Amino acid sequence: MTTSDFRQDAHHGSHDARRVGDLIKEFTSQDGISEKLRAFEVVGNWEKIVGDMIGKNTEIVRIENGTLYVQAKNSAWRNELIFAKATILKKIRENYPDSGVENVFFI
């Protein structure tokens, strides 16, 4: 491949990038992959959702069938989280409406 070939390919890159983007979009829409990726946004932003104090005393264990399973540091934190559950779910639904997270279970 010559330098001019490379430049010519680069010139056509934007058209190809659009096609790649379409393929990625199509792939992620299959079999709920897109929803799973959006659910991982909740995991990645957990401390932002719940704040530093709760974030440092909890760990997301898994997401299964629309339920986010959260391990609390101890039973006192678990009790606090149970009281905060409605607020946490509201934040998730408002900020990540397509995440598929419909419930939070504290363990």
Residue 78 counted as domain residue:
yes
d(CA 36, CA 82): 25
Q: Averaged over 31-46, what is the pLDDT? A: 76
Whole-structure pTM value: 0.68
In the structure encoding, which two tokens stand for residue 102, read together? 């419909």
pLDDT confidence of residue 40: 82
Provide the residue range defining the domain that includes 59: 32-106
Over 90: is that where the pLDDT of 22 sits?
no
Counted domains in the chain: 1
Assign 6 a pLDDT band (cuts: 50, 70, 90).
very low
Over 90: is that where the pLDDT of 28 sits?
no
CATH number, position 79 = 3.30.300
Over 70: is that where the pLDDT of 85 sits?
yes
Residue 1 counted as domain residue:
no
Q: Averaged over 64-73, what is the pLDDT? A: 94
